[in-house]
Structure 1
């Protein structure tokens, strides 16, 4: 396993337990036990080869699509415009299918491009991306929709699809979506209200009513450099254990904790990009190596892009989206899907290192030839 990824996951999980415990002490045991379970799952699944993940990709993708369709009829959750985002079958069987479709899309597109190449047959790949995106969009969940669509584009680029082809796809899609955009925004007015409300807040910094982001900023400021501990007095912060968990982390551990969170995500980014760079050295590139490279980059983007959006909301750059902080926020759906994504990265790294003859430290193994015995 990659020690770099293990360190990143452990740091994020520990800080997540601290943040959740700060905002909701009653949930610390629940979240802590799920964090340990997620870490164990990463260790277990990381032992499989990339071929295993590609072999189950299509089945996983079809199951996730079926769950996304099901959530439109019997789903529960968001109150914004009658949104339905969760499936609840009782007990622990409550989950958010939009979290798992991201991982399923990573595996399926990696399998598809590795088998069929990128020169032709892009219609099937774009159809898979659009099907996933549209089903989440109509829930509605705009934050996850943007992330899934962006993930699809990154996977196409990682697979080797030409940038001009990706640009043409985006342009054509934009033109096709224009006639439906106004009707969609009319049916879900909370989207424009939230956007223009955020813009108004940016322009008018003297508003008397404290917003969720204002309260988050207060908690962050109260934390100082080293934090005030989970039991310190703080402001009541809505979603302090979920969407705004970074404010709870900052309050408890201070700037040091926030920097540690960013450092952990940087480790994940560096790991994903290094895998892609190493895979580029292998000639000829086999379908297994191609799939491993795509999966590593996709899993990395899936984790870090979501974290970027969450942090951007917390500091006030983006309007509130409801996107959790990867591997930190309370919520088993996100925690589980991101932990499996890390297992995919571990598997891909090991496969590519094996083909290049690299050790765990990333250095080439030295092969010694036997010294011939001296002649009589």
Structure 2
């Protein structure tokens, strides 16, 4: 029986099959592009630069009204943020060119300086909105808890990496000491300034280090429970924190006071809709939404750029997190793996807490959105952390081969001239220490350079290395 062929139907099927084939080819090409040696490096760099640029635009938009009211210029707060970004940019570039050994060495003095600054802040800091978080140094106000996050990430990664290299991570006490006391000291000093959100970020970094290093499940669960218990106690002993939790459960119960900020953050997101009201056209920044440039800048993004803008921000942080975890899973050095995971946990954890507070999933915490919110004390350390992550991305095996083929850069040549290219690097495995054995009496020491010295015996010249066993006993 003959089969009837319909030309139009067969042509449509062929076109559909051809379209699917082209789509598969494009997906395969895109997947291959992710396997390039420097993919992680460019993903971190690209997403970091885009988030910083978006932050500058949104700081300008959200601060224009307050800037005009306070200084008469719409650009006063934006200029401060721009100066912070310009100051952090060379630090980020410098950090991206430094070897791992420098970061391992820097962790110790950085944690000591952070503890000292936090002590000064706790006793001689400046109180702002009921929190003792700021310290005036030379006419410049800084928030020491922000660089303390980077210091703890580097210090903690180096501590566990050293223990892993020495094979000491076999007992729980080696996992927790001195990492747990160090984290507890920083958390206590930060809590003295009534900064619970930063304390939670530090504890998240601590848990991430334990997770990456392979802590036993029981120990990790115990530490996670300890963190939750401490957070509950800290919230319960402060009346204003209890009020925040109560308002979080029902923001409409106090719409003019405790729930004012949460409600207006939701109003901003609702007003933006899908496509937003347009850049610079936010209504909530006209004195309705407190701290619109810092704690609630995500709400202004949602109002001016709509759902599309908020998804773009989430996507950028998602790509940054993917790139950081990609680095952590590809590098072979223990310190690089731990440091990459700690930095990613810090940045993404802080971003998730900030966004969750804006959309009403957690109580308002007063924590900035990394790389986007206003504030040089938060922006500069985070940019330096991005530089560290870029440097770690260069240590991926394939990336290291590609960069080695290109030759050393200017920073590497400068470090080699100063003799700092191997500072803090662990001893290479497989290397042998110089032998301290004494030579056999009456036998000359072998000559340097690999020459084989001979000695005479009854059978003629015999190499020392081949001397009969009875001669060695003499």
TM-score (norm 1): 0.83
Q: Pick the aligned partner of 1:16 from 55, 79, 101.
A: 55
Give me the whole-angstrom Cα distance separating, in 2, the residues matched to 1:206 and 1:115: 52
Judging changes above 3 Å, is the alpha-carbon distance between structure 1 residues 272 and 233 closer, same or farther for their aligned structure 2 residues? closer
SS at match of 1:86: strand
Judging changes above 3 Å, is the alpha-carbon distance between structure 1 residues 223 and 100 closer, same or farther for their aligned structure 2 residues? same
Aligned-pair CA distance for 1:170: 4.5
What aligned pairs does 1:151-190 form with structure 2 within 5 A after superposition?
Answer: 151-171=205-225, 181=233, 185-186=236-237, 188-190=238-240
Question: Is 1:347 aligned to 2:391, yes or no?
Answer: yes
Question: Is 1:115 aligned to 2:162, yes or no?
Answer: yes
Question: Is 1:258 aligned to 2:310, yes or no?
Answer: yes
In the alignment, which residue of structure 2 is the partner of 1:144? 198
In the alignment, which residue of structure 2 is the partner of 1:34? 84
In the alignment, which residue of structure 2 is the partner of 1:100? 147
Q: Are the equivalent residues in 1 in contact too, given 2:207–2:223 (CA < 8 A)?
A: no
In the alignment, which residue of structure 1 is the partner of 2:19? none
Give me the whole-angstrom Cα distance separating, in 2, the residues matched to 1:299 and 1:340: 11
Give me the whole-angstrom Cα distance separating, in 2, the residues matched to 1:226 and 1:39: 32
Give me the whole-angstrom Cα distance separating, in 1, the residues matched to 2:224 and 2:281: 48
Give me the whole-angstrom Cα distance separating, in 1, the residues matched to 2:226 and 2:127: 33
Can you list the C-alpha shifts for 1:247-296, whole angstroms capped at 9, x where unaligned?
222233332221221111111111121122213xx4xxxxxx10011111
SS at match of 1:84: strand
Question: Is 1:327 aligned to 2:371, yes or no?
Answer: yes
Q: Are the equivalent residues in 2 in contact too, given 1:64–1:101 (CA < 8 A)?
A: yes
Q: Gaps spanning 5+ residues in structure 1: where?
A: 283-288, 361-376
Find the structure with the greater CA-based Rg.
Answer: 2
Question: Is 1:227 aligned to 2:276, yes or no?
Answer: yes
Aligned-pair CA distance for 1:350: 0.5
Can you list the C-alpha shifts for 1:112-134, whole angstroms capped at 9, x where unaligned?
11112232423211111111112
Question: Is 1:88 aligned to 2:136, yes or no?
Answer: yes
Aligned-pair CA distance for 1:21: 1.4
Judging changes above 3 Å, is the alpha-carbon distance between structure 1 residues 257 and 172 closer, same or farther for their aligned structure 2 residues? closer
Judging changes above 3 Å, is the alpha-carbon distance between structure 1 residues 135 and 227 closer, same or farther for their aligned structure 2 residues? same
Aligned-pair CA distance for 1:358: 6.0
| Structure with larger RCO (C-alpha < 8 A, sep 6+) | 1
In the alignment, which residue of structure 2 is the partner of 1:53? 103
In the alignment, which residue of structure 1 is the partner of 2:119? 69
In the alignment, which residue of structure 2 is the partner of 1:6? 45
In the alignment, which residue of structure 2 is the partner of 1:310? 354
Aligned residues: 343
Q: Gaps spanning 5+ residues in structure 2: where?
A: 1-37, 65-73, 405-474
TM-score (norm 2): 0.67
In the alignment, which residue of structure 2 is the partner of 1:374? none
Q: Pick the aligned partner of 1:270 from 318, 322, 328.
A: 322
Judging changes above 3 Å, is the alpha-carbon distance between structure 1 residues 5 and 191 closer, same or farther for their aligned structure 2 residues? same
